[in-house]
Amino acid sequence: MSDQSAEQAIEKVVIIGSGPAGWTAAIYAARANLNPLCIVGVPRQDPAPVLPGGQLMLTTDVENYPGFPDGVTGPEMMQMFQKQAERFGTRVLGADVSRCEFGEHPFTLHLADGKSVRTESVIIATGATANWLGLDNELRLATTGGGVSACAVCDGALPVFRDKPLAVVGGGDTAMEEADYLTKFASTVHIIHRRDTLRASKTMQERVLSAGNVQMHWNKQVVDVLGEEFITGLLLEDTVTGERKTLDVSGLFIAIGHAPATNFLEDSGVVFDDSGYVALPDGGSSRTNIDGVFAAGDVADHVYRQAITAAGMGCRAAIDAERWLAEQGVH
């Protein structure tokens, strides 16, 4: 599609995002003859790389997605998703959406390069990015498969982590859930928290701290991640005394929260939940508060954040959009 036609045409459905949710929505929408346009974004550093394809682009081995008995790398999986979507006619536009006008129909999506796209319906599938410590070696090892991850449920059961000392950074419910999961596989789970109390619920604290292979490191922060090809340890600093020490670990899981990619939705009228994720008023569908605007994947899900749940939500959004368009007489 040329730049000129992108400005002049009125699309039936535009999918914003290119992770499991976005590509699955594209596959379903294309097979429904909706001729979808998928706006996939452009690479940027923030502080870890943010790439078209989503969080899986930073994941080396995916072993919990059905259909891949020998596992698959995240980038390979996203390449296959995209190829399948394109096979059925999905068009791909490498651009960032900077602003959305949902007040009038058809909707107008403003791109960062100054161009715009008009569309009858929109599926928001921009995902969420993990919050990182921002250390150079942390980010390097996270992107090269060096044993640093932002998802224990995704990666913690990999053979490379089994029966090894692992570390979790964080003090909220997410960190406790990650640590609890890792207790099944690690020899020791080291929880590193910069304060002397946890923010997590009492129930989660009790469950994790009662495990026989959990060790707390209070008032500590990670100031460096050690290792060349794979993590070998952490340099910890006491937040009270400033004393530093090395902790030997074979895996690091960052659990200090995620941020949904929703900046482009400011002033669009889309309603967010208390955590800042796109709200879905009807829990049984992907409909947002705006007719014709749907959401799928991690941008609307702060609970599961898995590739397979995102893909399922992408399917749901495409079907919801198809039915909504039919109700409007758009085929």
The one catalytic residue in 100, 113, 136, 154 is 154
Q: What is the Cα–Cα distance from 14 to 39, expressed in whole angstroms? A: 7
H-state helical runs in the chain = 3-8, 20-31, 74-87, 136-143, 152-155, 173-182, 202-209, 307-327
The one catalytic residue in 38, 100, 155, 301 is 155
The two domains 3-129+258-327 and 132-254 share their CATH topology (first three levels equal): yes
- For the chain, give every domain's residue range: 3-129+258-327, 132-254
pLDDT at 22 over 70: yes
Q: Are 179 and 214 in contact (CB under 8 A)?
A: yes
pLDDT (0 to 100) of residue 220: 98
Q: Kindly report the CATH number that applies to the domain delimited by 3-129+258-327.
A: 3.50.50.60
- More confident of the two residues 220 and 155: 220
pLDDT at 276 over 70: yes
Q: How confident is the model at residue 6 (pLDDT cuts 50, 70, 90)?
A: very low
The one catalytic residue in 46, 96, 136, 151 is 151
Is 155 catalytic? The answer is yes
SS3 state at 1: coil
Instruction: Tell me whether strands 116-124 and 107-111 are parallel, antiparallel or unpaired.
Output: antiparallel
pLDDT (0 to 100) of residue 90: 98
- Name the nearest CA neighbour of 35 among 21, 15, 8: 15
- The whole-model pTM stands at 0.84
Span 132-254 CATH architecture = 3-Layer(bba) Sandwich (3.50)
pLDDT (0 to 100) of residue 323: 97
Is 154 catalytic? The answer is yes
Tell me: the pLDDT tens digits for 93-150?
A: 999 999 999 999 999 999 999 999 999 999 999 999 889 999 999 999 998 889 999 9
Q: What is the Cα–Cα distance from 210 to 242, expressed in whole angstroms? A: 29
